[in-house]
Chains A and B, each alone.
Chain A
Amino acid sequence: MGEEHYLELCESPVQFEHASNVNNVFFDEANKQVFAVRSGGATGVVVKGPEDKSSVAFRMDDKGEVKCIKFSIGNKILAVQRTSKSVDFINFIPDYPHTEFTQECKTKNASVLGFCWTNWNEIVFITDQGIEFYQVFPDKRSLKLLKSQSINVNWYQYCPETAVILLSTTVQGNILQPFAFRNGTMSKMSKFEIELPVVPKPAKLSLSERDIAMATMEGACKKSHVLKLNTTGKFALNIVDNLVVVHHQSSQTSLIFDIKLKDPDCAVNTHQPVLPARSIHPYRIPLSGVGDRSVKLPPTVNLLQDKGKLMDFLLRRRDCKMVILSVCSQILEGGEKGSLPVVATVFDKLNQVYKEYLEAEQTYTVAMESGPSRGSAAQKRPVRTQAVIDQSDMYTHVLSSFTERKGVSHKFIIAVLMEYIRSLNQFQITVQHYLYELVIKTLVQHNLFYMLHQFLQYHVLSDSKPLACLLLSLESTYPPAHQLSLDMLKRLSTANDEIVEVLLSKQQVLGALRFIRSVGGHDNVSARKFLDAAQQTGDQMLFYTVFRSFQQRNQRLRGSPNFNPGEHCEEHVVHFKQLFGDQALMKPSTV
Chain B
Amino acid sequence: MASGMQEKQYTPSLLSFFVYNPTFGPREGEEEKKILFYHPSDVEKNEKIRNVGLCEAIVQFTRTFCPTKPAKSLHTQKNRQFFFEPEDNFWIVMVVRNPMIEKPNKDGKPPTVEYQEEEILDTVYGAVVRECYSMYKLFNGTFGRAMEAGGVELLIQKLEKFFYRYLQTLHLQSCDLLDVFGGISFFPLDKMTYLKIQSFVNRVEESLDLIKYTAFLYNDQLIWSGLEQDDMRILYKYLTTSLFPRHSEPELAGRDSPLRPEVAGNLLHYGRFLTGPTNLKDPEAKFRFPKIFVSTDDGYEELHLIVYKVRQTSVELTRDFCEQLDGLVGPQLTLLASDICEQFTINRRISGPDKEPQFKFIYFNHMNLAEKSTIHMRKTASVCLTSVHPDLMKILGDINCDFARVDEDEEIIVKAMTDYWVVGKKSDQRELYVILNQKNANLIEVNEEVKRLCATGQTEDCFTTLRTVSVAGYHDSISVMQ
List which A503-522 residues lie within 8 A (CB) of chain B: 503, 508, 510-511, 514-515, 517-518
Flag whether B283 is at the interface (Cβ < 8 A).
Answer: no
Question: B194 to chain A: which residues have CB within 8 Å?
Answer: 458, 460
A508–B206 touching, CB < 8 Å? no
Residues of A within 8 A of B370 (CB): 457
Q: Which residues of B contact A460 (CB under 8 A)?
A: 191, 194-195, 198
In the complex, A176→B202 CA distance in Å? Answer: 56
B188's nearest neighbour on chain A, judged by CB, is: A458
Closest to A336 in B: B206
Q: Is B463 an interface residue when CB atoms closer than 8 A count as contact?
A: yes
Query: When chains A and B are docked, how far (Å) is the Cα of A451 from the Cα of B224?
Result: 9
Say yes or no: is B464 at the interface (Cβ < 8 Å to chain A).
yes
Q: Which B residues are CB-close (under 8 A) to A459?
A: 191, 463
Contacts of B5 in A (CB 8 A): none
Q: Is B390 interfacial (CB 8 A cutoff)?
A: no
For A508, list chain B residues within 8 Å (CB): 470
Do the beta carbons of B473 and A450 come within 8 Å of each other? no
Q: How large is the interface on B (under 10, 10 to 19, 20 to 34, 35 or more residues)?
A: 35 or more
A-B pairs, 8 with minimum CB distance: A511-B470, A415-B202, A422-B195, A480-B367, A457-B463, A458-B194, A487-B464, A515-B469
Q: In whole angstroms, how far apart are the Cα atoms of A418 and B192 in the complex?
A: 11
Q: How far is the CA of A182 from the CA of B346 in the complex (A)?
A: 62
With A457-B463, A517-B473 given, is the CB distance from A483 to B202 under 8 Å? Answer: no
Chain A contacts for B476, CB-based, 8 A: 510
Q: Is the CB of B470 within 8 A of A510?
A: yes
Bits for A452-487, please: 1 = Cβ < 8 Å to B, else 0.
011001111000000000000000000010011011
For window 392-435 of A, CB contacts with B under 8 Å fall at: 411-412, 414-415, 418-419, 421-422, 425-426
**A515 CA to B199 CA in the complex, in Å?**
39
The verdict on A447 contacting chain B, using a C-beta distance below 8 Å, is: yes
Who on chain B is nearest to A502 by CB? B469
Given the complex of chains A and B, what is the CA–CA distance between A411 and B441 in angstroms?
Answer: 55
- Partner of B225 from the list A419, A425, A454, A510 (CB cut-off 8 Å) is A454
Residue of A458, A483, A511 with highest tally of chain B CB at under 10 A: A458
Q: Is the CB of B473 within 8 A of A480?
A: no
Q: Does A219 have its Cβ within 8 Å of any Cβ on chain B?
A: no
- A414 and B202 CA atoms in complex are apart in Å by 9
A518 touching B472 in the complex, CB below 8 Å, given contacts A419-B202, A422-B195:
yes
Q: Chain A residues near B207 (CB, 8 Å)?
A: 337-338, 340
Give the CA-CA distance A55 to B274 in the complex, in Å. Answer: 82
B 64-115 contacts with A by CB, 8 A? none
Q: Contact: A511 with B469, CB < 8 Å?
A: yes
Q: Please, which residues of chain A bring their CB within 8 A of the CB of B471?
A: 514
Q: A458-B194, A483-B428 are in contact. Are A338 and B206 (CB under 8 A)?
A: yes
Query: Within 8 Å CB of A457, what residues of B?
Result: 186, 368, 370, 463
Task: Report whether B469 and A490 are in contact in the complex, using a CB–CB cutoff of 8 Å.
Answer: yes
In the complex the two chains form, is B469's CB within 8 Å of A458's CB? no
Let me know if A419 and B199 touch, CB within 8 A.
yes
Q: Report the contact-size class of chain A (Cβ under 8 Å from the partner).
A: 35 or more
Contact of B469 with A341 in the complex, beta carbons under 8 Å: no
A175 at the interface (CB under 8 A from B): no
A411–B232 Cα distance when bound, in Å, is: 19
Query: What residue of chain B has the Cβ atom nearest to residue A446's Cβ?
Result: B297
Q: Cβ of A451 and Cβ of B470 under 8 Å apart?
A: no
Asked whether any CB of chain B lies closer than 8 Å to the CB of A186, the reply is no
Residue of chain A at shortest CB distance from B464: A487
A499 at interface (Cβ–Cβ under 8 A)? yes
Question: What residue in chain A is nearest B204 (Cβ atoms)?
Answer: A340
Among candidates B429, B473, B474, residue contacting A483 with C-beta atoms closer than 8 Å: B429
The residues of B that contact A144 with a CB separation of less than 8 Å are none
Question: Contact partner of A426 among B192, B367, B474, CB < 8 A?
Answer: B192
Pick the contact of B469: A344, A415, A514 (CB < 8 A): A514
Closest chain-A Cβ to B338's Cβ sits at a distance in Å of 18
In the complex, the answer to whether A458 meets B189 with C-beta atoms within 8 Å is: yes
What are the residues of chain B within 8 A of A515 when measuring CB–CB? 468-470
Q: Are B368 and A453 in contact (CB under 8 A)?
A: yes
Residues of A within 8 A of B196 (CB): 422
B471 to chain A, nearest CB (A): 8
Q: Is B226 engaged at the interface, CB distance under 8 Å to the other chain? A: yes
* Cα–Cα, bound, A510→B428 (Å): 12
Which B residues touch A503, using CB under 8 A?
A: 469-470
The B-contacting residues of A in range 335-352, CB under 8 angstroms, are: 337-341, 344
Separation of A514 and B476 alpha carbons in the complex (Å) = 11
Residue B438 CB within 8 A of the other chain: no
Q: Can you spell out 6 A-B residue pairs with CB atoms less than 8 angstroms apart? A: A418-B195, A453-B368, A454-B368, A457-B186, A457-B463, A510-B470
Q: How far is the CB of A506 from chain B (nearest CB, A)?
A: 10
Whether the pair A418, B226 counts as a contact (CB closer than 8 A) is: no
Of all chain B residues, which has the CB nearest A488?
B464
Q: Is the CB of B195 within 8 A of A425?
A: yes
Is A418 within 8 A of B368, CB to CB?
A: no
Contact for B191 among A338, A414, A458, A487, CB less than 8 A? A458
Q: Does A491 contact B (CB under 8 A)?
A: yes
Inter-chain contact A450/B469, CB cutoff 8 Å: no
CB of B456 to closest CB in A, whole Å: 15
Q: Which residues on B sit within 8 Å (CB–CB) of A425?
A: 191-192, 195
Flag if A514 contacts B195 (CB, 8 Å): no
Contacts of B473 in A (CB 8 A): 514, 517-518
Residues of A within 8 A of B186 (CB): 457
- Of A337, A339, A411, A518, the most chain B CB neighbours within 10 A belong to A518
Closest-CB distance, A460 to chain B (whole angstroms): 6
A212-236 CB contacts (< 8 Å) to partner B: none
Expressed in whole angstroms, the Cα–Cα distance for A177 and B191 within the complex equals 58
**B229 proximal to A (CB < 8 A):** yes
- Pick the most buried of A338, A422, A490, A510: most chain B CB atoms within 10 A of its CB: A422
Return chain B residues, CB-CB under 8 Å to A412: 206
User: B286 an interface residue at 8 Å Cβ cutoff?
Assistant: no
In the assembled complex, how far is the CB of residue A337 from the closest CB belonging to chain B, in whole angstroms? Answer: 6
In the assembled complex, the Cα of A447 lies from the Cα of B298 at a distance in Å of 13
Instruction: Check A486–B195 contact: CB distance below 8 A.
Output: no
User: Is A422 touching B463 in the complex (CB atoms < 8 A)?
Assistant: no
- Residue of B191, B226, B429 near A451 (CB, 8 A) is B226
Q: Which residues of B contact A414 (CB under 8 A)?
A: 202
Which residues of B, 404-462, contact A by the 8 Å Cβ criterion?
Answer: 409, 428-429
Tell me if B63 counts as interface (CB < 8 A to partner A). no
Q: Which of B349-369 contact A (CB under 8 A)?
A: 365, 367-368
Q: How far is the CA of A414 from the CA of B224 in the complex (A)?
A: 15
Which residues of chain A are within 8 angstroms of B192 by Cβ–Cβ distance? 422, 425-426
B467 contacts the other chain (CB 8 A): yes
- Tell me the minimal C-beta distance from A404 to chain B in angstroms: 20
- CB-defined contacts of A458 to chain B, threshold 8 Å: 189, 191, 194, 463
A325 to B479, CA, bound (A): 65
Complex interface: chain B residues within 8 A of A454 (CB)? 224-225, 368
Is there a chain A Cβ closer than 8 Å to B203's Cβ?
A: yes
Report B-chain residues with C-beta under 8 Å of the C-beta of A517.
473
- Say whether B225 contacts A344, CB under 8 Å: no
Which residues on A sit within 8 Å (CB–CB) of B203? 340-341, 415
Taking a contact as CB atoms under 8 Å apart, the answer to whether A447 and B297 are in contact is yes
As a 0/1 sequence over residues 203 to 242 of chain B, the CB contacts with chain A under 8 angstroms (1 = contact) are 1011101000000000000001110110010000000000
Measured CB to CB, the closest approach of chain B to A247, in angstroms, equals 42
**Are B469 and A510 in contact (CB-based, < 8 A)?**
no
- Which of B229, B429, B467 touches A450 (beta carbons < 8 Å)? B229
Interfacial chain B residues near A421, Cβ < 8 Å: 195
- Asked if B468 and A518 sit within 8 Å, CB to CB, the answer is yes
A contact residues around B428 at 8 Å (CB): 483, 486
Cβ distance A471 to chain B, nearest Cβ, rounded Å? 12
Chain A residues lying within 8 Å of B365, measured Cβ to Cβ, are 483
Instruction: Give A425 to B186 CA distance when docked, in angstroms.
Output: 22
| Chain A min CB distance to B405 (Å) | 18
In the assembled complex, the Cα of A411 lies from the Cα of B471 at a distance in Å of: 39
A426: chain B residues at CB < 8 Å are 192, 195
User: Which A-chain residue is minimally distant from B223 (CB atoms)?
Assistant: A458
A454-B225, A499-B469 known; 16 new pairs, CB 8 Å cut-off, are: A338-B206, A340-B203, A340-B206, A415-B205, A421-B195, A450-B228, A454-B368, A483-B365, A487-B467, A490-B467, A503-B469, A514-B470, A514-B471, A514-B472, A515-B469, A518-B468
